[in-house]
């Protein structure tokens, strides 16, 4: 895996490595390097099958019988914002938080659980399935506080292990190269 050599470098070296990586890979390689993040529980808990979010590294069904709701903000009486605020609550396994906490809407649930890497890439590129976004808007979404929360998920949760700046550089490279997808 391209990113494996970056895990033990300090921040300055990661920035240099990121710059070198971006100039050496094509879009499909950049997308493949994004896969460990996209398949991590911090992403998969909201982009999984079913009309409910999942929780934890084991991806169990969200407690409290939470449902997506038509806009992705929860069902009547159990809105996401009831427990999830703009920042993580203090304490082990307390409700996580980020501005705009929500699931994808029921009209565009963006479920990628069970998709191959290529199918996931194609989903990202299809405006009829990705919330009417172009490639630049997909990358912009990956820069939102809600997505970036995965690197600072709160006490008791495993953060995404790929450095944030490396992931974002790969996302930018993928989009800049026209959203090329891996073969499989």
pLDDT tens, the chain, 184 aa long: 344 334 434 444 444 444 455 556 899 999 999 999 999 999 999 999 999 999 999 999 998 888 988 889 988 778 899 999 999 999 998 999 999 999 998 888 899 999 999 999 999 999 999 999 999 999 999 999 999 999 999 999 999 999 999 999 999 999 999 999 999 8
Measured distance CA(165)–CA(163) in Å, rounded: 6
Please state, in angstroms and as integers, the Cα–Cα distance from residue 164 to each residue in 8, 54, 128, 131, following that order: 14, 22, 28, 23
Please report where in the chains the tokens 């649930």 appear, as a residue: 109
Q: Which of 71, 63, 44, 78 is nearest to 150 (CA)?
A: 44
Locate 10 and state its tokens: 């300090």
Q: What are the sequence ranges of the domains in the chain? A: 14-176
């Amino acid at each position: 895996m391209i990113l494996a050599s970056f895990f033990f470098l300090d921040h300055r070296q990661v920035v240099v490595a990121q710059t070198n990586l971006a100039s050496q890979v094509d879009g499909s390689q950049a997308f493949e390097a994004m896969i460990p993040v996209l398949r991590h529980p911090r992403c998969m808990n909201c982009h999984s099958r079913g009309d409910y979010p999942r929780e934890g590294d084991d991806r169990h069904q969200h407690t409290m019988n939470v449902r997506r709701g038509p806009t992705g903000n929860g069902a009547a009486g159990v809105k996401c914002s009831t427990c999830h605020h703009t920042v993580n609550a203090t304490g082990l396994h307390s409700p996580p938080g980020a501005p705009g906490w929500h699931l994808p809407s029921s009209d565009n649930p963006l479920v990628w659980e069970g998709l191959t890497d290529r199918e996931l890439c194609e989903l990202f590129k299809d405006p009829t399935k990705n919330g009417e976004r172009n490639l630049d808007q997909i990358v912009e979404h990956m820069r939102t506080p809600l997505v970036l929360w995965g690197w600072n998920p709160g006490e008791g949760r495993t953060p995404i292990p790929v450095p944030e700046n490396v992931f974002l550089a790969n996302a930018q490279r993928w989009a800049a190269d026209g959203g090329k997808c891996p073969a499989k």
